[in-house]
């Protein structure tokens, strides 16, 4: 791979270090990787013993609006699938992972590029692809035949495990904390692999109950056995019935005299939740969550575990403290082992949310037509978009319509709206700057304004600008006064704007803004 493979790199307009030519303040270059939900934790009183400092925290509003510039020598990211194996060094200009983990196949220097040679962490000595082939979950040893379609990868490194599951039709949400390996998620997103900054510590992960067929931890350095196994009980909450927990202990445990005690605690905790150990090879163990309600009730009677309240399973999980109890899954719906079928079939969980099958079908049809129009108006090659965020996903119709394109979609349901994530494939997020190619905002700005909590249009636009890559698109549908305000403000953010007319769900014409972030830098 040579640098000639990246063509048509646009030139950056001249800007001063203090403000743009139209008056918007610009962040100093040292803030071009600023994470508003993480970079001020030193100001807070947190439970460090439980690693609370690694979790996503509510961000304080900036005192003034500061526009983030791209780093020096930033280039438009390489396109998928090339980006799975190579990214520009100048876009993630950090050598820490290569220096610390270079011998472990995470990432290596390769001229102008970072190269990901198929490994995804310390365990994948022969590459993530071979690791996946060797994983045994049932008699056939095949993930798909075991019904695995959605996976959560804990402590994911640079997300190679997820990247190499994609050809198998398996979707993986990868997450890791903003810790000593602080740029691992930035590498993952630059590659075009679905990932977010997060940690399992004191709060529930931002996903509904029974979201995944597999939770994977390859030497993720999470103390699952600690604090009465409260973190492992969170895994139980997230796993669907007959889902798998794959655990590989860290190398340091080999010579740790306490490891036998740690393993015994893990086995005891798994048994208390009625999990079945189906495989153990060297340091890798695989349990299946058999939804044995009678077993759980018996263990509760014996005071081995406490059972969660039934209604807890239906509650939103955003910013909710971990519960030291075991949840009996109310999810008895049989799910297809085909992602395509899941995207088209009505999820019965939505019935509890008051969303009928007719509304689901109507939403699906509507967004398929809208997405066709979106691509026509953007007038770009499909490969120019990889990382997509739907900022108000509702029941995931937009993401479903995007499935035929080479993209992945991070679905967001604002915590202040009805919780519909149980019918959607992904959950909330925390992300680095310049990590998305397309943001879709459907009537989300007016929602925040209507709450009267001081969230200004300028605030939301600034966060959009932080997340979107240069030359990325922001598609906004909203009330006319919001659309007019954004159209007036867009030049200050160096956004190019086109206005188009499209039908809404009620067959009425509404204005849709197609904003494109210009490629600029401080010189």
Contacts of 371 (CB under 8 A, 6+ apart): 398, 401, 402
CB 246 within 8 A of CB 278: no
Residue written as token pair 């790199």: 9
Task: Indicate the pTM of the whole model.
Answer: 0.89
The two tokens of residue 498 are: 């086109």
Q: Which of 218, 184, 212 is closest to 198 using CA atoms? A: 184
Pairing of strands 275-281, 239-248: unpaired
pLDDT value for 252: 59
CA atoms 176, 180, 181, 186: torsion sign: positive
The two tokens of residue 333 are: 């719906």
Quote the Cα angle for 392-395-398, to 5°: 65
pLDDT value for 3: 39
Q: CA-CA distances (angstroms) from residue 415 to 24, 238, 386, 444?
A: 30, 18, 25, 12
Q: What is the 3-state secondary structure (H, E, C) of 414-481?
A: CCCCCCCHHHCCCCCCCCCCCCEEEEEEECCHHHHHHCCCCCCHHHHHHHHHHHEEEEEEEEEECCHH
pLDDT value for 106: 74
CB 317 within 8 A of CB 208: yes
Q: Return phi, psi of residue 208, to 5°.
A: -65, 165
Q: CA-CA distances (angstroms) from residue 66 to 62, 96, 491?
A: 8, 28, 14
CB 66 within 8 A of CB 25: yes
Torsion, Cα 480 486 489 495, to 10 degrees, reads -140
Say how far apart CA 397 and CA 350 lie, in whole Å.
13
Q: Is the N-terminal amide bond of 81 cis, ω within 30° of 0?
A: yes
Q: One digit per residue, pLDDT tens: the chain, 523 residues?
A: 433 444 445 544 445 444 454 557 888 777 777 777 665 444 445 565 565 555 554 554 544 567 888 888 999 999 999 999 999 999 998 777 666 554 556 788 899 999 988 654 445 656 566 666 656 555 555 687 788 999 999 988 889 889 888 888 889 999 988 765 668 899 999 999 999 988 888 899 988 889 999 999 988 888 899 999 999 999 999 999 999 999 988 665 667 788 889 899 999 999 999 999 998 887 789 999 998 999 999 999 999 999 999 877 777 777 889 999 999 986 666 676 677 788 888 988 888 888 999 999 999 999 999 999 999 999 999 999 999 999 999 999 999 999 999 999 999 888 777 767 654 433 345 688 999 999 999 999 999 888 776 678 998 999 999 999 999 999 999 999 999 999 999 999 999 999 999 999 999 999 999 999 999 877 6
For the stretch 311-350, what's the b/e string if a residue is b when 16 or more beta carbons lie within 10 angstroms of its beta carbon?
A: ebbeebbbeeebbebbbbbebeeebebeeeebbeebbebb
DSSP H helices in 218-356: 230-238, 259-272, 293-301, 339-344
Q: Name residue 110's beta-bridge partners.
A: 113
482-487: long-range contacts at Cβ-Cβ below 8 A with a sequence spacing of 24 or more?
A: 482/445, 482/446, 482/449, 482/457, 483/511, 483/513, 485/457, 486/445, 486/457, 486/461, 486/513, 486/515, 487/513
Say how far apart CA 69 and CA 223 lie, in whole Å.
38
pLDDT value for 348: 85
pLDDT value for 381: 97
Say how far apart CA 59 and CA 38 lie, in whole Å.
8
pLDDT value for 344: 83
DSSP per-residue string spanning 26-77: E--GGGTT--TTTTTGGGS---GGGTGGGS--PPPPPSS-EEPPPPTT--PP
pLDDT value for 104: 57
Say how far apart CA 346 and CA 365 lie, in whole Å.
13
Q: Which of 94, 85, 90, 199 is closest to 152 using CA atoms? A: 199
């Amino acid at each position: 791979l040579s640098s000639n493979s990246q063509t048509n790199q646009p030139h950056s307009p001249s800007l001063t270090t203090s403000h743009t030519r139209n008056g918007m303040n610009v962040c100093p270059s040292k803030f071009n990787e600023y994470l508003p939900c993480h970079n001020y934790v030193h100001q807070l009183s947190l439970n460090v013993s439980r690693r609370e400092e690694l979790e996503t925290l509510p961000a304080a509003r900036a005192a003034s609006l500061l526009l983030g510039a791209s780093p020096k020598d930033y280039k438009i990211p390489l396109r998928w699938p090339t980006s799975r194996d190579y990214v520009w060094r100048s876009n993630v200009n950090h050598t820490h992972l290569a220096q610390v983990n270079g011998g472990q196949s995470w990432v290596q220097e390769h001229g102008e590029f970072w190269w990901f040679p198929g490994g995804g962490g310390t365990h994948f000595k022969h590459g993530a692809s071979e690791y996946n082939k060797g994983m045994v979950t049932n008699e056939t040893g095949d993930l798909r035949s075991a019904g695995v379609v959605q996976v959560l990868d804990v402590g994911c490194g640079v997300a190679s495990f997820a990247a190499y599951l994609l050809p198998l039709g398996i979707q993986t949400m990868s997450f890791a904390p903003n810790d000593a390996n602080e740029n691992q998620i930035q590498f993952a997103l630059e590659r075009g692999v679905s990932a977010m900054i997060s940690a399992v510590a004191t709060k529930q992960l931002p996903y509904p109950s029974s979201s995944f067929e597999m939770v994977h931890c390859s030497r993720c350095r999470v103390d699952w056995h600690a604090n009465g196994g409260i973190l492992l009980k969170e895994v139980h909450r997230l796993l669907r019935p007959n889902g798998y927990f794959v655990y590989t202990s860290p190398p340091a445990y080999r010579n740790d005299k306490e490891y036998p005690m740690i393993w015994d605690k893990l086995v005891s905790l798994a048994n208390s939740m009625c999990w079945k150990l189906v495989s153990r090879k060297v340091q890798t163990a695989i349990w299946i969550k058999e939804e044995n309600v009678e077993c759980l009730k018996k263990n509760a009677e014996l005071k081995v575990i406490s059972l969660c309240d039934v209604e807890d399973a239906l509650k939103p999980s955003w910013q909710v403290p971990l519960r030291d109890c075991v949840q009996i899954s109310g999810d008895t719906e049989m799910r297809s082992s085909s992602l395509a079928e899941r995207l088209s079939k009505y999820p019965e969980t939505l019935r509890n949310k008051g969303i009928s099958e007719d509304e689901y079908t109507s939403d699906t049809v509507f967004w398929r037509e809208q997405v066709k129009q979106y691509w026509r108006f953007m007038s770009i090659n499909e490969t120019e978009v990889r990382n997509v965020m739907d900022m108000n996903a509702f029941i995931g119709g937009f993401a479903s319509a995007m499935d035929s394109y080479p993209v992945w979609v991070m679905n967001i349901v604002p915590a202040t709206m009805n919780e519909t994530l149980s019918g959607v494939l992904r959950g909330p997020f925390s992300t680095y700057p310049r990590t998305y190619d397309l943001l879709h905002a459907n009537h989300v700005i007016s929602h925040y304004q209507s709450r009267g909590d001081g969230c200004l249009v300028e605030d939301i636009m600034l966060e959009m600008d932080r997340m979107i890559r240069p030359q990325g698109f922001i598609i906004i549908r909203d009330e006319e006064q919001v659309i007019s305000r954004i159209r007036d403000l867009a030049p200050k953010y160096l956004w190019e704007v086109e206005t188009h007319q499209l039908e809404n769900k009620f067959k009425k014409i509404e204005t849709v803004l197609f904003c494109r972030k210009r490629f600029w830098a401080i010189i």
